[in-house]
Amino acid sequence: MKLRTLTLGLLSASALAFAAHAESITIATVNNGDMVRMQKLTDDFTKANPDIQLNWVTLEENVLRERVTTDIATKGGQYDVMTIGTYEVPIWAKQSWLLPLDKLGDDYDVKDIIPAIAGGLSVDGKLYAAPFYGESSFVMYRKDLMEKAGLKMPDAPTWDFIKQAADKMTDRANGVNGVCLRGKAGWGENMAFLTAMSNSFGARWFDENWKPQFDQPEWKNTLQFYVDLMKADGPEGASSNGFNENLALFQQGKCGMWIDATVAASFVSDPKASQVADKVGYALAPDNGLGKRGNWLWAWSLAVPAGTQKADAAEKFVSWATSKHYAELVASKEGWANVPPGTRSSLYANAEYQKAAPFAKMTLDSINAADPTHPTVKPVPYVGVQFVAIPEFQGLGTTVGQLFSAALAGQSSVDDALKQAQDAATAAMTEGGYIK
């Protein structure tokens, strides 16, 4: 009896000691397919690191952004790992809100990260977030409709070709729209698309002295082309369509072309979800021959906030989730097609991945075609392809997005929208102290 009591006591004591030793880290993330998969596979991490427990907080993208911004700005210390994008990383790193990731491990192979992606996540040569998955944007099109229209999509089309193809493919009687593009207002919605598109038209948000440029002819050309194209060949109610709405339209065969995130390729080519899975072709985002294409660059990345008390455990987790080993783990459990794309060069050199993901080469080419440090034809004082990496951009981008969405909906003219955008940008930049 005494022996049993003693054994039980010892066991309880050791359990308590273990519990006291185990460190728990809280990870804030968004509800994307790749993130959900990561949560399911964390046993692999906790087995190798039994002293680290993982707590997940999954939030809607905008709520997540607001929550982590509040937490990091007040040094609340609620999260040890944060899922953030290429927009936040340079701003937060400059504020010293993020810890540089310099302990990712010997076998992590930082140089394997695609240079364009690493560039967007680094400040002064130091990596402040590790990419979990990366994306650019490209053209997804219906090969059958293109053939019916008597056209052949080049690998690198121009905007004029897109217009010509959209006009020919549009068959509203049969519910087919030549082209589906984002129209829903928001800095990460229509403005992601329009800012990237404007780069290929030679436009820019600000000149070298931070003077807003919406009064310049390049922006007028961009917005006029977009509104005319959508009026002639876009779906009804396009001003409220974002990624998910256009995805649904394309999957149902209602779009001839869709220019959006490369990550959409895995959705539109999935026969379980898409009615047109075997008819989709891919091409680089269009250009106007000015040296820049209308594609963006984004990476959902894992970063460690400066306020955390558990930096080592947090960095260990970041290293695991963004490693080559993790890619192999996903491949072994769920197949190569489900490996998070767009972060490591080695993935694109992998023959099995190329076989499983026919859009792999075009995705890599698109990512490589974007340069966040030199995003525009004319010089700019900012970083970011489809955004301007300054704190004021979230609010300003959404305001301008609403004006452009109204122009698409026909509630205002292109000229009025641009004039109001210029006024809003001038006011925001004056208030922010960028211009006088």
Judged by CB under 8 A, the residue of 8, 11, 13, 36 near other proteins is 36
- Restricted to residues 230-249, the positions that interact with other proteins (CB under 8 A) are 243-244, 247-248
Regarding 51 and contact with other proteins (CB under 8 A), the answer is: no
Strands 23-30 and 52-59: parallel
User: Taking Cα atoms as reference points, which of 270, 252, 284 lies closest to residue 356?
Assistant: 270
CB of 131 to other proteins, least distance (A): 16
CB of 346 to other proteins, least distance (A): 24
Q: How far is Cα of residue 294 from the mean position of the Cα atoms in its chain? A: 15
Determine the size of the site formed for other proteins (CB under 8 A). 38
CB of 335 to other proteins, least distance (A): 17
Judged by CB under 8 A, the residue of 22, 23, 32, 151 near other proteins is 32
Regarding 57 and contact with other proteins (CB under 8 A), the answer is: yes
Regarding 16 and contact with other proteins (CB under 8 A), the answer is: no
Regarding 26 and contact with other proteins (CB under 8 A), the answer is: yes
Regarding 164 and contact with other proteins (CB under 8 A), the answer is: no
> Smaller CB distance to other proteins: residue 14 or 31?
31
CB of 82 to other proteins, least distance (A): 11
> Smaller CB distance to other proteins: residue 30 or 146?
30
As beta bridge partners, residue 135 has 298
CB atoms within 10 A of CB 422: 19
Q: Contact at 8 Å (CB) between 426 and 400?
A: no
Query: Which single residue is written with the structure tokens 């600000």?
Result: 206
Regarding 31 and contact with other proteins (CB under 8 A), the answer is: yes
d(CA 182, CA 200): 17
Strands 126-127 and 122-123: antiparallel
> Smaller CB distance to other proteins: residue 275 or 413?
275
> Smaller CB distance to other proteins: residue 127 or 263?
263
- Restricted to residues 262-291, the positions that interact with other proteins (CB under 8 A) are 263-264, 267, 272-273
Regarding 55 and contact with other proteins (CB under 8 A), the answer is: yes
Judged by CB under 8 A, the residue of 7, 13, 14, 33 near other proteins is 33
CB of 252 to other proteins, least distance (A): 7
CB of 389 to other proteins, least distance (A): 19
Q: Which amino acid belongs to residue 363?
A: T
> Smaller CB distance to other proteins: residue 74 or 413?
74
Regarding 7 and contact with other proteins (CB under 8 A), the answer is: no
Regarding 59 and contact with other proteins (CB under 8 A), the answer is: yes
> Smaller CB distance to other proteins: residue 52 or 229?
52
Q: Which amino acid belongs to residue 387?
A: F
- Restricted to residues 67-126, the positions that interact with other proteins (CB under 8 A) are 67, 70, 74-79
CB of 84 to other proteins, least distance (A): 13
> Smaller CB distance to other proteins: residue 27 or 421?
27
Q: How far is Cα of residue 169 from the mean position of the Cα atoms in its chain? A: 29
Contacts to other proteins by CB under 8 A: 26, 28, 30-33, 36, 39, 55-61, 63, 66-67, 70, 74-79, 188, 243-244, 247-248, 251-252, 261, 263-264, 267, 272-273
